[in-house]
Amino acid sequence: MVVFGAIFASIYLFVAQFHKVQGNSMVPTLQSGDYLITEKLSFRFRDPKSGETIVLKNPRDESQDFIKRIIAVPGDTIKILKNTVYLNDQPLPESYLPPGTLTRSGAFLTEGLFIKVASNQYFVFGDNREHSSDSREWGPVTKEEIVGRAFFRYFPLQAMDLLTDK
């Protein structure tokens, strides 16, 4: 039994973790009440990529986890102008959002302000832009704040799927 506990603890700490989606910040991609497996290994061997759905520590309360999408990576420039996200001077194609989705600026990423993403930092947004606390409000997150990559939705069963950077 002790060996099983040690194996489970090792997997939980270093390989994978279960998360329940709480709130609507990632709608339509994820719904409140969805259950996910977050894998923790990828980012030990490579940097996170734009478009990936991640789990991160809430920058304002590290006892909570957030689920967001990476919008910009180190070296990128990001700006919001007239409710459109610009990445490296181009409108960001966001096929995972419903047509006509508007993105408002926030306290950190204000209207028209270009920000260059620094080394080891990432800009993350919720897919439900009207109901998401994200980098627009509190700025970029570091790689160390990222728990892992949201990998697989296992519940509800009818929505079971691999989560890709759609």
* Dihedral sign computed on CA atoms, order 17, 20, 23, 26: positive
Q: Which of 25, 105, 132, 135 is catalytic?
A: 25
Per domain, the residue ranges of the chain are 2-72+120-162
Question: 3-state class of 158 per DSSP?
Answer: helix
Mean of the per-residue pLDDT values of the chain: 90
The pLDDT assigned to 142 comes to 96
The backbone torsions φ and ψ at residue 103, rounded to the nearest 5 degrees and listed phi first, read: -120, 115
The pLDDT assigned to 100 comes to 86
pLDDT band of residue 165 (cuts 50, 70, 90) is low
Residue 59 token pair: 């920058």
pLDDT (average), residues 120-145: 95
116 flagged as catalytic: no
State how far the Cα of 149 lies from the Cα of 10, in Å rounded to an integer: 18
What is the percent of the chain with per-residue pLDDT over 70, rounded to a whole number? 90
Peptide bond into 93 cis (omega under 30): no
Q: Which amino acid is at 9?
A: A
135 flagged as catalytic: no
CA-nearest of 135, 146, 110, 106 to 17 is 146
pLDDT band of residue 59 (cuts 50, 70, 90) is confident
CB 53 within 8 A of CB 68: yes
With 0.95 as the threshold, say if the pTM is over it: no
The pLDDT assigned to 9 comes to 53
pLDDT (average), residues 134-161: 94
State how far the Cα of 108 lies from the Cα of 105, in Å rounded to an integer: 8
Question: 3-state class of 166 per DSSP?
Answer: coil
The pLDDT assigned to 1 comes to 65
Q: Which of 68, 79, 132, 135 is catalytic?
A: 68
In the CATH hierarchy, which fold is given to the domain comprising 2-72+120-162?
Umud Fragment, subunit A (2.10.109)
CA-nearest of 38, 32, 50 to 14 is 38
Q: Which amino acid is at 11?
A: I
pLDDT, tens digit (0-9, with 9 covering 90-100), for 98-129: 888 989 999 999 999 999 999 999 999 999 99
The backbone torsions φ and ψ at residue 128, rounded to the nearest 5 degrees and listed phi first, read: -90, 80
Residue 57 token pair: 């520590």
102: β partners? none
